[in-house]
């Protein structure tokens, strides 16, 4: 048997991620590889930091991209900040809130859960009530944009409540960065992580993170060693910061960072608020078309995530057959339901480069044909 080169099909990606990658970002991947300590690469890393500060709307010195996907960004935030002596209040309204809880439990810290309804935003009053009953709480963790349900929570208000109770915040912005309003400094977020493959429309495998000065001080002054060597940010800080020579920590994914740099340049050129507006406008077009097909949304209008549309599968329609039809006949991918919504909902992504007119029209036309069959 002779194995040949792998040539993937040309898909239109409108699921929960990865999203469509622009030709500009794909071409950046093919640029010549240099060493991860090459002075020219170090200069590009500094530009990535600056571009991420813009995307996150922060001046945090410690803003960088972890050389692993968003799940590693999540773990990095927890293992570097939380110790077994801490009490962490976690808001759970979907799959990714539940993963936060698993991180806290593995650290051995005390976790207090604020449970919410799947498909709804986190209830600020429920967080307030829980914090009043948990005076020993040190951190509040929540998902800004819950990818499993398509619900968008009010991060600004949740951070205000946490701050009032002297808690630092850990925020999942995997699906929100670049797609909806996110203002790390103005809202007082202490640790935030995202993913390269969602609204940034980069290739999967990188996790942008940012730590406030308070969070960075906790990392620098830890008495207990971080339980993960690779994700220990006190070690990585020496690679992503400092003038001139950087300390070696790991071999960074050089070409993937070229791609992230290009995607962030594109975001800068478009303008952050313009990107937010584009995602919202394309969501409205998609929502109007879906409702005309008799497809209803899981999430109430005021709590919807524009870039991740979770909708009820119409009664009598075969979930898997429709998604297979779209893939086979139109090279179009939409996402299945996750967790409680498995088998009863679809997740339709409009993230980054995918949030454009031709994708919306293709999705609506293909769904109309599939439902007719």
pLDDT, residue 247, reads 81
Task: Flag whether 162 is in a domain.
Answer: yes
The answer on 79 and 217 residing in a single domain is yes
The predicted structure's pLDDT at residue 114: 98
Residue 243 has pLDDT above 70, yes or no: no
Which residue bears the tokens 């608020």? 273
pLDDT at 241: 79
51, 197: one domain: yes
Residues 221 and 157 grouped into a single domain = yes
Same domain? 276 vs 255: no
pLDDT band of 245, cuts 50, 70, 90: low
What pLDDT is stored for residue 98 in this prediction?
97
Q: CA of 31: how far to CAs of 22, 133, 262, in Å? A: 15, 55, 11
Q: Is the pTM of this model over 0.75?
A: yes
φ, ψ for residue 259 (rounded to 5)? Answer: -65, -40
111-136: burial string, b at 16+ Cβ within 10 Å, e else? bbbbebebbbbbbbeebbebbeebee
Beta-carbon contacts of residue 174 (< 8 Å; ≥ 6 apart): 70, 73, 74, 96, 145, 147, 193, 194, 195, 198
CATH number of the domain within which 43 lies: 3.40.640.10
Indicate whether 97 and 219 sit together in one domain: yes
Mean pLDDT is lowest, of 38-47, 133-142, 152-161, 231-240, for 231-240
Question: Could you give the CA distance from residue 23 to residue 145 in angstroms, rounded to a whole number?
Answer: 27
Question: Given this model, what pLDDT does residue 80 score?
Answer: 98
300 with 351, same domain: the answer is yes
Task: Determine the pLDDT at residue 161.
Answer: 98
Residues 117 and 225 in one domain: yes
Q: Are residues 261 and 276 in the same domain?
A: no
What pLDDT is attached to residue 1? 86
| Shared domain check, 219 and 337 | no
Kind of pairing between the strands at 145-146 and 345-349: unpaired
Joined tokens for residue 362:
């293709």
Residues 183 and 246 reside in one and the same domain: yes
Do residues 204 and 331 share a domain?
no
How many structural domains is the chain composed of? 2
- Dist CA 191 CA 199 (whole Å): 19
Segment 269-280 mean pLDDT: 98
The pair of structure tokens assigned to 135 is: 């005076």
Supply the pLDDT for residue 338: 94
Mean pLDDT of 64-70: 97
CA distance 106 to 166: 24
Range of the domain at 303: 12-18+272-372
Mean pLDDT confidence for 44-55: 97
Rounded-to-integer distance, Cα 50 and Cα 187, Å: 19
Q: Which helix (H) or strand (E) holds 170?
A: strand 168-172
Cβ neighbours, 10 Å, residue 32: 7
Residue 7 is assigned to a structural domain of this protein: no
pLDDT-derived band at 15, boundaries 50, 70, 90:
very high
Nearest Cα neighbor of 207 from 43, 10, 66 is: 66
Distance in angstroms (rounded) separating the CA atoms of residues 346 and 292: 16
| Helix ranges (DSSP H) in 34-141 | 39-56, 70-81, 95-107, 124-132
Residue 87 placed within a domain: yes
- Cβ(102)–Cβ(82) below 8 Å: no
Does residue 6 sit within a domain? no
Residue 244 has pLDDT above 70, yes or no: no
State percent of the chain over pLDDT 90: 94
Residues 317 and 191 in one domain: no
Q: What is the mean pLDDT of the chain?
A: 96
Q: What is the pLDDT of residues 342-372, one digit of tens each?
A: 999 999 999 999 999 999 999 999 999 999 9
């Amino acid at each position: 048997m002779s194995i040949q080169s792998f040539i993937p099909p040309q898909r239109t990606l409108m699921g929960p991620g990865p999203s469509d990658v622009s030709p500009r970002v794909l071409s950046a991947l093919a640029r010549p590889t240099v060493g991860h300590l090459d002075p020219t690469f170090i200069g590009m890393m500094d530009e990535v930091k600056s571009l991420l500060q813009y995307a996150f709307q922060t001046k945090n010195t410690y803003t960088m991209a972890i050389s692993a996907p968003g799940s590693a960004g999540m773990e990095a935030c927890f293992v570097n900040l939380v110790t077994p002596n801490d009490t962490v209040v976690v808001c759970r309204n979907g799959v990714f809130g539940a993963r936060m809880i698993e991180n806290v439990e593995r650290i051995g810290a005390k976790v207090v859960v604020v449970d919410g309804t799947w498909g709804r935003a986190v209830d600020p009053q429920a967080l307030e009530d829980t914090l009043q009953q948990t005076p020993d709480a040190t951190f509040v963790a929540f998902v800004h944009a819950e990818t499993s349900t398509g619900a968008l929570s009010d991060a600004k208000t949740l951070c205000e409540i946490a701050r009032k109770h002297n808690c630092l915040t850990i925020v999942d912005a995997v699906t929100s960065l670049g797609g909806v309003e996110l203002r790390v400094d103005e809202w007082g977020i202490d640790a935030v992580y995202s993913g390269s493959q969602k609204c940034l429309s980069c290739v999967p495998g990188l996790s942008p993170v940012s730590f406030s000065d308070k969070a960075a001080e906790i990392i620098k002054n830890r008495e207990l060693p971080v339980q993960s060597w690779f994700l220990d940010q006190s070690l990585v800080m020496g690679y992503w910061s400092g003038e001139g020579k950087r300390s070696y920590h790991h071999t960074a994914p050089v070409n993937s960072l070229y791609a992230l740099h290009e995607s962030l340049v594109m975001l800068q050129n478009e303008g952050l608020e313009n990107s937010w507006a584009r995602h919202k406008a394309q969501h409205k077009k998609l929502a109007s078309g879906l409702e005309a097909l008799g497809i209803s949304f899981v999430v109430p209008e005021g709590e919807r995530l524009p870039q991740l549309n979770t909708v009820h599968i119409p009664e009598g329609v075969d979930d898997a057959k429709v998604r297979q039809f779209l893939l086979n006949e139109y090279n179009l991918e939409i996402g299945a339901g996750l967790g409680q919504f498995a088998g009863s909902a679809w997740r339709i992504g409009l993230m980054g480069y995918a949030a454009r007119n031709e994708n919306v029209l293709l999705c609506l036309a293909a769904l109309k044909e599939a439902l007719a069959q």
